[in-house]
Amino acid sequence: MRAVGGTPELQSTIQHRGGASYDYELVTRQGPSSGGFRTKAPTGLPSTVAITERIKRELVGGRGEGFSVELWDPYSPRREPSPMAISLESRKPPTLKVAQGDRHSIQVVDEEGHTKRSEMTLSGGERLISQCETLLK
């Protein structure tokens, strides 16, 4: 769910049907919509936990410089998964470049791969800065 100024703007739900198949439901100010999509990967979409583990193992752990994954993007007008590229910007502190479509951000992560700070430049040049805290360990 995404809210702006406390007002709900978008609620997105996806349900895994099996393999690469998913159903989605969206509720926006314009009304509800629903449908289905397939991923390119036959195993389907990776979980947030799986992505965090790859960041920890490959990027923070020094085994790689970057990787790409597919993610469900409720803001995509095509209503299908989109690729997200994650690459290492700096090792100290661990800093990542994250690109998904026309959205790009720089994220500082901890040694476990969890985002601590994120800075995204929006299309109008405005910067969106988020401080993050991991509640689950």
Mean pLDDT of 67-96: 88
Residue 3 pLDDT grade (very low, low, confident, very high; cuts 50, 70, 90): low
% residues pLDDT > 90 (the chain): 49
Distance, in Å, from the CA atom of 52 to the CA atom of 57, rounded to the nearest integer, reads 9
For residue 79, the model assigns a pLDDT of 76
**Structural domain boundaries, residue 29:** 2-131
Q: What 3-state DSSP class applies to 100?
A: strand
Let me know if residue 137 belongs to a domain.
Answer: no
For residue 89, the model assigns a pLDDT of 95
Let me know if residue 26 belongs to a domain.
Answer: yes
Distance, in Å, from the CA atom of 33 to the CA atom of 36, rounded to the nearest integer, reads 11
Let me know if residue 136 belongs to a domain.
Answer: no
The pTM of the whole model exceeds 0.85: no
* pLDDT tens digits along 32-78: 989 999 999 898 999 989 999 999 999 999 899 999 999 988 777 67
Let me know if residue 52 belongs to a domain.
Answer: yes
Number of compact structural domains in the chain: 1
